[in-house]
A and B are shown apart, each in its own frame.
Chain A
Amino acid sequence: MSIELIWAIILSFAIFAYVILDGFDLGIGINYPFIKSKWERDLAMNTVAPIWDGNETWLILGGGGLFAAFPLAYSIVLPALYAPLTAMLIGLILRGVAFEFRWKEKNKSNIWDKAFITGSYTATFFQGVALGAFLQGISITGRSYSGSWWEWLSPFSIFTGVALLIGYGLLGSTWLIYKTENRTKRNMQFLAKRFFVLTLLMITVVSLWTPYLNSEYFDKWFSVPRIYYVLPVPILVIFASLKCIQSIYQNKDIQPFLWSIFLFLLSFIGLMISIYPNIVPPSLDIWEAAAPEKSLKFLLVGVLIFIPIIIGYTAFTYWVFRGKTSSDENYH
């Protein structure tokens, strides 16, 4: 395996880790409008307060890793997605500061709750838009982006934006099923069921739409014999879906969350199948975009040393704050 490919895998891992981890805490913001009482909102916030910053760090690793390992891709994708990324950053600012600020505001209709909701919706929607625009393909001439500043806008990218809102909604509600009890948990089960149905719908539409974006995608999925290799993906999706909805009905704690993650993993693998071996669709591949070997090797050493340590202490933090969260006094 070439070092370029190893780096592509590392980056995929970082991005997937980000999608899952920040997905569920952005998902809390997406569920927030449906949580009415103050103490339940406090509770929902408390379930992620000690960990959200770590979750978001994977986004920085994704961005920084792209800069380091595939600088050409970084310098093409970021200008291409200028507007959606800026909107996403603004959204992340709003919801990021809300974690601290909402405790300082005594007012009943807390403005930072609104900022939290707005920020979470904005960040998620535009992440989805960015993903859609990326899949659609980016215009490149020479070594730079050559489209206009609204090339990202299309029915497909708007649709993937909405799809991601729903998907993160599912992650958020199932996370809260895991972290809460009684009334809150029941409310979350109610929401999770709805998000679940919509998520399936979105996965189906995006899966059917993507192959028609360009013929290369189509061939990857529907040409013989490839169709036999990729068939397990949709089959597993059906299986995971059944398990997910069943575990919600059976009033399980952590299973709905884990099955939702599995659904995300399958969708992510589907994406990778469509894109590979490109790093910027439709025409820039991993090898063309890669940094010279010396750069890749140097940072690879760091990744091999630090990622296991990071996973170790991240797991430790999750363990320290494990179990059901309560809004106030049970917390110690």
Chain B
Amino acid sequence: MLMFDPLILARFQFAFVVSFHIIFPAFTIGLASYLAVLEGLWLWKKDDRYLKLFNYWLKIFAIAFGMGVVSGIVMSYQFGTNWSVFADKTGPILGPLMGYEVLSAFFLEAGFLGIMLFGMNKVGKRLHFTATLLVAFGTFFSAFWILSVNSWMHTPAGYSINDVGQFIPENWFEIIFNPSFPYRLVHMLMAAYLTTAFVVGSVGAYHLLKQNSNICARTMLSMAMWMAAIVAPLQLIAGDMHGLNTLEHQPAKIAAMEGHYETKKGAPLILFGFPNDEKMEVNNAIEIPKLGSIILKHDANAEIKGLKDFPEGETPPAEIIFWSFRIMVGIGMAMIALGLWSFYLRLRNQFYKNTFFQKIVVLMGPAGFVAVIAGWITTEVGRQPFTVYGILKTMDSASPIDAPAITASLLVFIVTYFLVFGAGTYYIFKQFAINPDTDKTHPVKIGSLGVSLKIFNKS
């Protein structure tokens, strides 16, 4: 029975908690940088508008960051509780990398978060700005290490295997900078920036629609759309390179993403269709001839290997990642389009006037989160049936835990996550509804401390 298979349960639990977790880093990595930029602009230009925005987003950051931390702690125990065999085998390699994450990133974030949130009057402006910058660096280091860990699982390098089956480090440089890591790091960081930009833009557009003269709302929308216009096209390029890298190291994943069951010369690009893993065919496919080979091999007649030609039982489910990949790329294209449109409107001097555009921007607010999760599903499901690609199978990675224990904990996680993170999301939305320009909670009661940020009055 499906429900009582500990492996399926453990996988579902891991996918659930990690997908919840990534929502918060995707937002806070971008937001930490955005806050640093706002504070920097305020110190440089002495324009109060930036301080208002800083205080406004700081409150949101505090809530999101708190949720990121508590959901992250769960992650660091999941490897042991649910994937203990995996942990035993990969510990000598992945453990030190995650250790470096704790030492160089988590402590840095946590250590300076207090000053960033509550220390404005205690340490002076410059030191406070330093704290903000350090928190932003912390989020970056965190992404660096954890993505190195994750990438190593996709493209293991620099290791040997000892007699009890553990991976043993041979060359740390090759381990950390494993073949897929640079691509994944760049792609994920840009994803975080885009996610944040679309949230900021959406809130800006929302307030602009309510009051067109709102200077803070204008600033938000403008900053966000610059980000979209510049980074979204870069993301397409990075994503394409990432895909080529995957073709080299995990060709089965690409075949599944593209819905290629047959090996073909001059393979088409399947735009849409319904892959069927059992029959190994794509139903109702809409195709563009030869484009598949052109994109993947930059040659119209190149051969692309199909899923049928991989060893049986070593291919990922195309039914899932064919779709998740299209969702991500579709959102990416929409982001590029919006960026171009914003650019065009600026040239025509319509940027703050075109309400249709602004409404679309409001709607695009959550787009980044959807794309991030779709992207991760593509990557991770595409690695199946392995946890360490080509070497360690998922079914050989799980803990010796009875199904009832996993079922119980899974239910508890689901209930808690929905209640707790649902409440957090509600509070964030309540904050979004407040007008940043006239935020009457100034001097702000920043979350936990109920501290007044008096500098706002002093300056």
| Residues of chain A whose beta carbon lies under 8 Å from any beta carbon of chain B | 42, 45-46, 49-51, 53-54, 56-57, 59-61, 63-65, 67-69, 71-72, 74-79, 82-83, 85-86, 89-90, 92-94, 96-97, 99-101, 103-104, 143-146, 148-149, 291-292, 294-295, 298-299, 302-303, 306-307, 310, 313-314, 317, 320-321, 327-329, 331-332
Name the B residues within 8 Å of A76 (CB-CB).
84
> Is the CB–CB distance between A86 and B412 below 8 Å?
yes
A96 to B423 alpha-carbon distance, docked (Å): 13
Smallest beta-carbon distance A66→chain B, Å? 8
Q: A67-B87, A104-B427 are in contact. Are A94 and B416 (CB under 8 A)?
A: yes
Known contacts A64-B76, A328-B450; 14 additional CB pairs below 8 A are A49-B448, A64-B95, A71-B90, A71-B92, A71-B95, A75-B87, A82-B399, A82-B401, A90-B413, A93-B420, A97-B70, A143-B164, A145-B400, A295-B169
Determine the distance from Cα of A236 to Cα of B110 in the docked complex, in whole angstroms.
35
Q: B56: shortest Cβ distance to chain A, in Å?
A: 15
Kindly identify which residue among B102, B400, B402 contacts A61, using a CB–CB cutoff of 8 Å.
B102
Residues of chain A within 8 A (CB-CB) of B121 are 332
In the complex, the answer to whether B162 meets A292 with C-beta atoms within 8 Å is yes
Interface of chain A, main secondary structure? helix
Chain A contacts for B169, CB-based, 8 A: 292, 294-295, 298
Q: Bound complex: CA of A89 vs CA of B99, how far in Å?
A: 20
Distance from B243 Cβ to chain A, minimum over Cβ atoms (Å): 32
Q: Does A101 lie within 8 Å of B427, measured CB to CB?
A: yes
Q: List, in ascending order, chain A residues with CB within 8 A of B289's CB.
A: none
Measured between alpha carbons, how far is A51 from B119 in the docked complex, in Å? 12
Most A C-beta atoms less than 10 A away, residue of B102, B118, B401, B445? B102
> Using Cβ atoms and an 8 Å threshold, which residues of chain A touch B449?
46, 49-50, 331
Could you name 18 residue pairs across A and B whose Cβ atoms are closer than 8 Å? A49-B114, A49-B448, A59-B73, A60-B73, A63-B76, A63-B80, A64-B101, A65-B99, A74-B95, A86-B412, A291-B92, A294-B92, A295-B96, A298-B169, A302-B99, A306-B107, A314-B107, A328-B450
A174 to B73: give the CA distance in the assembly, Å: 27
Cross-interface CB contact of A103 among B109, B408, B447, cutoff 8 Å: B447
A97 contacts B104, C-beta separation under 8 Å = no
Please report whether the interface of chain B is mostly helix, strand, loop or mixed according to DSSP.
helix
Measured between C-beta atoms, what is the minimum distance from B76 to chain A in Å?
5
Chain A residues closer than 8 Å to B412, beta-carbon distance? 86, 90
List which B95-136 residues lie within 8 A (CB) of chain A.
Answer: 95-96, 98-104, 106-115, 117-119, 121-123
* A57 and B117 within 8 A (CB): no
CA separation between A294 and B166, bound complex, in Å? 13
Contacting pair B409 A54 (CB below 8 A): no
A-B interface contact total, Cβ < 8 Å = 261
> Measured between alpha carbons, how far is A26 from B114 in the docked complex, in Å?
18
B122 touches A313 (CB 8 A): no
CB distance from B388 to the nearest CB of A (A): 14
- Interface residues of chain B, those whose CB is within 8 Å of chain A, are 62-63, 66-67, 69-74, 76-77, 79-81, 84-85, 87-96, 98-104, 106-115, 117-119, 121-123, 162, 164, 166, 168-170, 172, 399-402, 404-405, 408-409, 412-413, 416, 420, 423-424, 427, 430, 445, 447-452, 454
Q: Is the CB of B103 within 8 A of A302?
A: yes
Inter-chain contact A94/B95, CB cutoff 8 Å: no
Contact A307:B95 (CB < 8 A) given known A96-B69, A96-B70, A143-B164: no
* Residue with the greatest number of chain A CB neighbours at <10 A, chosen from B67, B72, B111: B111
From B74, B89, B99, B448, A46 is in contact (CB under 8 Å) with B448
* B77 CB contacts on chain A under 8 angstroms: 63, 78, 85, 89
In the bound assembly, the distance between CA atoms of A75 and B80 in angstroms comes to 5
Shortest Cβ-Cβ A-B pairs, 9 listed: A71-B91, A78-B80, A50-B114, A68-B95, A49-B448, A75-B88, A75-B84, A306-B103, A332-B121
Chain B residues in 8 Å Cβ range of A82: 81, 399, 401, 405, 409
B98 and A64 form a contact (CB under 8 A): yes
